[in-house]
Structure 1
Amino acid sequence: MTYTSITGGTKLFPTGTNTTYDNEVSAAIPLSSPFTFGGVAMTTCYVSANGFIAFGAAPSGTNYTPMSSLGSTTGAISAFGQDGGFSSSDATQPIGNHEVRYEDLGTEFVVQWQDHANYSNRSTERLNFQIRLVYATGEIKIIYGNCTDPGTSTSNSTPHVGIRGNSTTYASNVNSLMIGNVPSGTTCDWSKAVTGSANNSTMLFSSTTNASVKIPAGLQYTWVPGTQAPVRTFAAATAITNNAATVNWTAPTGATAYNVQYRAVGSCDWTNLVGNPVSAATATITGLTQNTTYQVQVQALNGAVQSVYSHIPNAAGTGSGYASTGSFTTTPNCVSTVTGLSSSSLTPESATISWTASTTPPGNGYEYYYSTSSTTPISTVTPSGSVGAGVLTADLSGLTPSTQYYYWVRGNCNGTDKGVWSSSANFTTLGLCPTVTAPASSATGVSVTPTITWNAINGATGYKLKVGTTSGGNDILDIDIAGGTNSSYTLATPLNFATTYYYSVTAYTANITGPATACTVRSFQTVCNSVNLPYTLDFESVTTPALPMCTTVINSGSGNLWKTATAPTGFTGKVLNYSYNSSNAANTWFFTQGLNLTAGVSYRIKYKYANATGTTQYPEKVKVAYGSSATSAAMTNTLADHANITGGTATNTFVDFTPNATGVYYFGFQAYSLADMNQIYVDDINIDVTPTCSEPSAVAVSAITTNGASISWTAPATAPGSGYEYYYSTNSTAPTASTTALGNSTTTSAPLSGLSPSTTYYVWVRSVCSSSDKSVWSIVATFNTLCGTVMAPFTQNFDSGAAPNCWNNVNPTATGTDANLFWKFSGNGDYGASPANNGKAAGTYAWVDASSPYAGAGTNTVQLVTPSVNLTGLTAPLVSFDWFKNHSMSTSTTVSPSSYDNNKLTVEVNDGNGWVVIFSDNTNLNQWRTVAVPLAASYIGATIQVRFTVDKNVNGNGYFYDDLLLDNVEVKQNPNLATSETVAKDHKINVYPNPFTETLTISDVSKVQSVSIVDVSGRLIKTIEKPSSELQLRDLKEG
């Protein structure tokens, strides 16, 4: 058949300006003449981008199985039914003119898929095919043009081809085709397809499975309306001999004769039965080959009327024989049944198989077949090998490591006659990754000269051992250990103490250098030695909740254990943490690494500790001690006992001590709180020789101004002979011993000057005992200088998600600290002010939460005040801001004030002479509104603050639906507006004339909820609710 493309008609997909299509379904397409399908005259059809057409109703866009998925359709014709199409997101689009179109030729209705593809193989496949409906005869033709070989993906690689009526019942309403990789490696292409055996029968199209199962150009499948039902029911084949068999079936209604065809499994072509057509529902096939599996298909006849051929029955007649088992297998001339299969002598690339001799030993020995597939070989398959008479074993070589193989054996009576294949047995070749026995994975306390051991692998010729300081690394060792029986290696060069190492052991053979997948890399940690001072432990190197290397934890009770955690406020990074147990008291010890100390030397241990914050305090208890081993019994030297730790403020402390004997000592922190308390945090543990010059403590900051402050501190027990030095910075990085001080003092205080306003500073102090003996720097103190006056123009967009510096978030009448009585800067509004309505991301505006409390103290005065702004330089100062209020009881965009009050926003300005209202409004609109208010001339050159007050309970009837949002506050030069304007974003609203005398016109009043009028001093004069487009303002006084 010649494939004739259509170029006229109508292109369906891609639609519009799109260049790709995927899952599209057309609208109903009218047919120029009724087309009879399933006894119904169809006048329209629907085209799916997934390779099929449907009748009755549009199929789902994700219907990829049209023969077995009905939906609302009453019929379907599928040429390549599966997930087809292309992706618009592919960076490089596949070549080709990908489209689906139809054309009504008057005699035929044609639907064409051009350069189509399986979606999963869209980069390589180009498929061209048509569905043709012949009006006059009712014929259905599926024709294929040039089609590429199938792609490599196995996803969606088994399309549906066939026709379906108004149900998915197989046989009576589904007539589909099928072809697969049967037997494995078949050369049969789509022209050799057979009738499907179920409503979900498919056609293979995947080069990964078998590239030979492809579509020849010009292939045509035709369905012609007929009245004869096909053969659908079979009985078991009977009278099977070495050269004949009888097949049996149930006669369908109307059938008077039958054509029978047969073929050996593996053959693509059929042989007609001698004597066709037969009149009875049974036929004996003769002239067959012994020990061969055959497939059968039958066609029902009624005079000149022919049905389609039946599906291929299986041996029982109850299922599909389209498999290697076929419809029946002739008996062998060679009666030799092999049993007792077993395997031995496994290596990574070889094995020995053996079996029990058959009762009648075959004259020519045995043949064997092995494969990684469990599919039983057919009689005509080429054996993998053979052995002579009397031999009951075979050696297999050239195998792949770590692979499961299946094998079968049969007798070889002579050069022609073979027995049936035995039942299968299987074995798995050895892998090249030996079982490692030491060190165990993640072992700790391993010797610095460890012996690595493993179980030798049979057949290996040597091993590759790698040791490194990174996973998979070989910077420590990379060595070949010749000899497959070797099973250990001891490192000659000592490793470092307290270090994590990674290692792997891989076997190799004479032919294979290593496994396809790398062997597991394991790790171990070498033993921890005692270390010299100074010793610092800040927990920053851990992955919480793990402990630092060379530290240990024990539980002497039934509470929880020490762990590490993310640091709370007042600490940095990560900390040691004990978290309460609701039922059991704490009794857990944390121990440091062993430290080398000398008798008679004074040492100092420093650390910080705290409880958690909270209104209710649950006191915690921590004891600090040291001893000769990391056990609770050895902690005989108590250094500190903090028996009542409350509050979330970190306390820095130190203790000096002198051991009586030289040795290795461990320092322990015991949590011994009662049950159901709170949290203990410990950090920055430091142990060193007691300094000869001690640092000051309790650094405090007072008298903070915009550019200065006073610092003070507590002198150490022995005051330094040369006073103190101090250092301050806007960077929190602590100074070192070599850092140059920024000032000095002979007292315990000092002034700081020349600082920047509104800035965070960090300050440290150290003692100067002499020019060559200075203490370490003290614990840092932090402070913020006061806010200074900022110069106009001034702007704030609230995009940081936090309160802006130097803004005052206050509520003068609130008696509590509930967050809903203050402005918020993170999170988002809800109901009518939800992100879907206001259009802005959370944390990019300031807002007042209308939630409870919405009655009582503080609900009328939720205030946000700008920094002081100097207007010098502005000849016509202007205050502008964006606000959003959309009172709604749902997240709908519809304003729904309900029966509750509207919250009100009031804006005021203060130049030192009191607050003056310049704006006040409580109206609603589902969009941001920009308000611009010019200030009176009296404000020129002044310093002002702007206050935004939200009243959540205007008339004692507040509720939680009315969140109010604020953004983009500006104090700037007025762009010469004589009329204060409120402009709704994204809506062009013009107010004119400007200036006006008696009448003011608004261009689009549909979006205006209210108009506020202020005088030149900034006072609110009048508010007009729901204004008309023309405002009569002749009653206003001049000015």
Structure 2
Amino acid sequence: MKKILLLCLILVNLALNAQITLGTGNTAVGVAPISTYYGYSYVQQIFTKNEINANAAGNITGLKFYLSTSSSIANSSSWTIYLGTTTKTTFSSTSDWIPVSQLTQVFSGTVTNVNGVVTISLPNSFAYNNLNNLVVAAKENSSGYDDNGFSDAFYNYPAIPASVLYYRNDNINPNPSFPPIGSFGDDKSVITFNGLTANSAIACPDVMYPANNAQFVPLSPTLQWNAVSGATSYKVSIGTVVGGSDVINQQSVTGNSFTLPSSLAANTVYFLKVVAVNATGESQGCSSIMFRTTPGQPGNDECANAVTLSVNPNAICTSSIQGYTLGATNSGLATTPCFGNPDDDVWFKFTATATSHKISLNNIQSLGTNVNDDLYFQVFSGSCGNLTSVLCSDPASSIVTGLTVGATYYVRVYSYDGAGSNQSFNICIGTIPPPPSNDMCSGALAVTSFPYSYNQTDALGATNNSGFLTTCLDGMNDGTWFSFVGNGGNVDVIVTLPSGSSFDSQVAVFTGSCSALACVDTEDSGGDGETEMISVPTILGTVYYVNVGHYDSSSDEFEDTFTINIVSNFLAASEVSDVKTKIKVYPNPFSDLITVSDVENIKSISVTDMVGRTLKTIQNPNPIIYLNDLNSGIYILSIITKDNSKQSLKIIKK
């Protein structure tokens, strides 16, 4: 009996002490698992099976994150955490969020910093299969932010590029079901997984460069991989077949990078494997990654060899062609009246089928020695040797007008910057569609039930109808329209845009009638390609009209493709959604003045600098506040409402 009891105690002790920690010893701070320096954030991280290196499948019973003992997370303490598995190693784009429907919510509550550790015990353990990579997603729900020396607080470690996807904003609390366009991060949080037991064998490295299936890899690349804990050296092999070593055969390397001693062949597929070594042996079962080298000088390097583009019948890029500037040379044609350095220009041409077309550069990837994705394009009429510039475009998409149907036009694409800046891209020619059915308020698409989702692919054809919408203080273009009937609860309107979009949208909600609209609220917090979200408390039976249009109230600009989701978050009459209670301040950054919403509910506003000095206090403010006497920089705007609640946010003087 004593032996059985002793064995049980040993097993329980092993289970309690089973844990795997990644990134030990790193104290650089970053955006993961949440960004403490912004009001709200949503962060997804992919931890590979290799780096976790568990000895078997197991149940994750808790998580730990690390920060300085002196760091404050008082305004960043309301967390929701999701776990899941994926075959992805990286995110393919800034909109490539892993759907929350594929994740499991494992925690929701308040966290605290106890001696530099945030410990989260999961109410229900998460079964990790030890076959796929692990996703850790965290959403921070508290308004306000924590300073901590003008930086984030949590310790991060270097990781595979694009293995972190994050969104952070002082005013918008993102909905994980409809996450906004985010940003890539290359640093993951130092983390402990409780409940998993580490493998006794050393882990396989994850190759950081080149990425698996990478294209346009230079002929003399510098290979990089993550530093494996306990490794004393690494062995590198490269071959022209899977598992091959006919190019490099188990080259011993002490660091975590290696520059090839001789050039690879152009436009050739290679397979790379890296193995970690320590005193006990080598990592086992490491897989190869595949990459293709650059094909050399582009065939369309000169105007005479311009590639012919098909014209799409609408604004959707069903037909597109891949191009690249790496290896291209200067055609010798001056950019005037355009800008940039055309030392790597490549050429395309199309035949106009309408008087206006949309030209788009999508899926832009940096290829040069400088990390840079700033492409520029110029459109010409005429013929090679006798060209006339008709459009200059720094944005990745632009509308070219005044075309002659049946005429041929040339498009020159080049990196805006000089030597070392090169890109790959997809180019397409779109056609502006006729005005959509919901172009006018009277034709608003009716929401018959919640949740509602609609992909507006023909918004490019929307007109400004009778002019700009100026009922709300922050006016906008008249875009496309939707309507719904209030249910007495809160309704969220979320507008998301496809990756790479240059459409800067604004959303507004109105009551009344199409001929006499009354502003309920409007939102324009995001920039090009970014999500806009607005939440309104509704009155049962009242009809609400929603407009999605370009943000400008003085220039009639084109709308573009977007997806609108309208969802009901029914709250009791005494409740108000967190998003709605946020006072809105725009523009931000600003030049001379800011406009503040809901001033009738504001008691006072004060402006302080980043060292805490109060520079200005305004009692019972007007909507427009002049701050032209401030120097350029970052300030804190503190708002006291008439119910004595407080809101603080960062504002930037240009």
Q: Which of the pair has the greater relative contact order for Cα pairs under 8 Å at 6+ separation? A: 2
TM-score, normalization by structure 2: 0.24
Larger radius of gyration: 1
